[in-house]
Structure 1
Amino acid sequence: MSDAALTLPGWRHVYSGKVRDLYEPDASAAGVALRERHGDVVLVVASDRVSAYDHVLSPGVPGKGVVLTQLSLWWFEQLADLVPNHVVSTDVPGAVAGRAMVCRRLDMFPVECVARGYLTGSGLAEYRQNGEVTGIALPAGLVDGSRLPEPVFTPATKAELGEHDENVRFSVVVDTVGPETAETLRDLTLAVYARAERVARERGVILADTKLEFGTDPVTGAVTLGDEVLTPDSSRFWPVDGWEPGRAQPSFDKQFVRDWLTSSASGWDRASDTPPPPLPADVVERTRARYIEAFERLTGRTPDL
């Protein structure tokens, strides 16, 4: 049974993304009680699905949903004094225990808030073209994995399922949400990155970049951190002792999946319209091990799988 088909007492499935499924209280007595207790909330369920290059891959990575949820909850605690978040409760149905959160429904901003402290990925590709990332000029001579002089805010537009997010200049964010909100999103994103980069580095992990999502809490009116936060799905984590600019870095995220997909071993042509092939068992297991190691290094705990 897919996560989207789960029957959860008091909840009705309303949406499935690449990785997460959303439920809202239904019209049953249990659903009414949920609304009375928590207000306007959604149940955010992290599945074991894994996505890359705008495709949802098969099979999933066992335990991934639990790791993403528990790591997000840990980070929300580390950031609680810095920015409010959308978590209301972790009292969830047993079928999704450990991988779901009851969250305040936010009025989400249509912006991917990205902070980069190191140059890699799409930022590196853009830099190689024109020496800039989203219109921000960077020093000459940077290579894959270079640490930037200071972290930069490089926003992107939110894409529909199956489409690409597009890196945009800050001026596009201003046009989209207004100058005051744009500055708030930039400042909060960089503040979260600075805190998380320091916390991760103390644990032997480099936070190269991260993607955040914010919305307005309709109850308080505050700009609030939503979705997941600082997980291997939304961030690039590298071991401090393996960092070597000028090459692809060893990572604790799904870069291993991306690398396999673009290797000759997969036989997949990324430029074609054909779906990616199934992930081999060893790729699934090695990806799972990387997610778990990221969790353990950052939190000092073992995930409750």
Structure 2
Amino acid sequence: MTDSRLTALGWTHRYSGKVRDLYTSEAVPGRILVVASDRVSAFDHVLEPGIPGKGAMLTQLSLWWFSRLGMRNHLAAAHPSLGEHLPPGIAERAMLVHELEMYPVEAVVRGYLVGSGWAEYRATQSVCGIALPAGLGEGDRLPEPIFTPAFKAPMGEHDENITFERMVDLVGAEAAASIRDTSLEAFDAASAIAARHGLILADTKFEFGRDPVSGELTLADEVLTSDSSRYWDAETYAAGGIHRLDSFDKQIVRDWLAANWDRSGEPPELPAEIVERTAARYRELLERLEDDED
């Protein structure tokens, strides 16, 4: 996953996740170049082919939200300021960020009962140790957003939902409380912004790190993108029916893979039509948010 164009410019590849590649350079100490790829993953596998333009759209979405949340974040520079220093095709997918001491948890906030939260609720009537009212259905709005952290698993393994008490064990009481409160605040702010664009923010995950110099909690990684969040069309949701929970993300990929792969061996190649439809959903979300700027 190393890009020779970057190594030729003095960047050293440090790590690759499912979607992002990280580079450092002696010329810019204390900084990390985060490059979002077009890779797409499902069921803990990276699939082929990727989704054209996905990396640029994810980066653009993160930058859009960073500028609106008003929270301390890890961004040091992004396109177009990086454009003159990076090759075309990379600059629009890249963010130069401050290096942080990352916390090993994903800060998940849920406003609606769906996904793994719905599965857990059916089994225990709770999510991550938080008891919920009886009688809720899939996709129902929760009485109030809940914070349900997850332990970040190594690549190839599935993240594990954990209780807040377990999170305290992992990061300490002060950091855990700060991450929880900041996440809920960010979710409320983002939900209000999304609503003005006719969208429901059903759930999302944030990642945080500690600034090694100031010690301050800092929002990191991607934020409120199609890969880290579940968005629904507000009108479609209100109308009900089988499409009310259609999301602006890679759900099309998940559904196709679930119907065409038994999860043994390597996953099959994605058909061109699935790739095109997924790319269109990513573009639609970006266009909806950028239309009629706040």
Normalising by the smaller structure, the TM-score range is over 0.9
Partner amino acid, structure 2, of 1:180: E
Alignment equivalent of 1:269, drawn from 250, 262, 272: 262
For structure 1, list consecutive stretches of 5 or more residues without a partner in the other structure: 26-30
* Cross-structure match for 1:279: 270
SS at match of 2:215: coil
Q: Percent identity?
A: 57
Which deviations, in whole Å up to 9, do the C-alpha atoms of 1:47-72 show, x marking residues without a partner?
Answer: 00001110101000000000000110
Alignment equivalent of 2:2, drawn from 1, 4, 10: 4
2: distance between equivalents of 1:182 and 1:301?
Answer: 36
Matches within 5 A, 1:5-154: 5-8=3-6, 9-25=9-25, 31-32=26-27, 34-35=28-29, 40-80=30-70, 83-90=71-78, 91-92=81-82, 93-95=86-88, 96-154=90-148
Pair 1:246–1:156, CA change in 2 (3 A) = farther
Q: Does 1:167 align with 2:161?
A: yes
Alignment equivalent of 2:247, drawn from 232, 251, 254: 251
Partner amino acid, structure 1, of 2:2: A
- Give the conservation status (yes or no) of the 8 Å contact 2:5–2:87: no
* Cross-structure match for 1:295: 286
Which stretches of structure 1, 4 residues or more, deviate above 3 A after TM superposition? 244-248
After TM superposition, give the deviation of residue 10 of structure 1 in Å: 2.8
Which deviations, in whole Å up to 9, do the C-alpha atoms of 1:49-104 show, x marking residues without a partner?
Answer: 00111010100000000000011001000112xx2000001133124111000000
Partner amino acid, structure 1, of 2:65: W
Pair 1:178–1:247, CA change in 2 (3 A) = farther
After TM superposition, give the deviation of residue 220 of structure 1 in Å: 2.1
Partner amino acid, structure 2, of 1:294: L
After TM superposition, give the deviation of residue 298 of structure 1 in Å: 1.2
1: distance between equivalents of 2:68 and 2:189?
Answer: 9
1: distance between equivalents of 2:10 and 2:228?
Answer: 30
1: distance between equivalents of 2:281 and 2:4?
Answer: 28
2: distance between equivalents of 1:247 and 1:195?
Answer: 29
SS at match of 2:246: coil
- Give the conservation status (yes or no) of the 8 Å contact 2:33–2:96: yes
2: distance between equivalents of 1:197 and 1:288?
Answer: 23
After TM superposition, give the deviation of residue 216 of structure 1 in Å: 0.5
Which deviations, in whole Å up to 9, do the C-alpha atoms of 1:230-255 show, x marking residues without a partner?
Answer: 00000001100111568561111111
2: distance between equivalents of 1:6 and 1:75?
Answer: 30
After TM superposition, give the deviation of residue 6 of structure 1 in Å: 2.8
For structure 2, list consecutive stretches of 5 or more residues without a partner in the other structure: none
Number of matched residues?
A: 283
- Give the conservation status (yes or no) of the 8 Å contact 1:76–1:85: yes
SS at match of 1:72: helix
TM-score (norm 1): 0.90
After TM superposition, give the deviation of residue 275 of structure 1 in Å: 1.7
- Give the conservation status (yes or no) of the 8 Å contact 1:88–1:104: yes
Partner amino acid, structure 2, of 1:219: V
2: distance between equivalents of 1:146 and 1:70?
Answer: 30
2: distance between equivalents of 1:56 and 1:16?
Answer: 12
Aligned CA-pair RMSD: 1.5
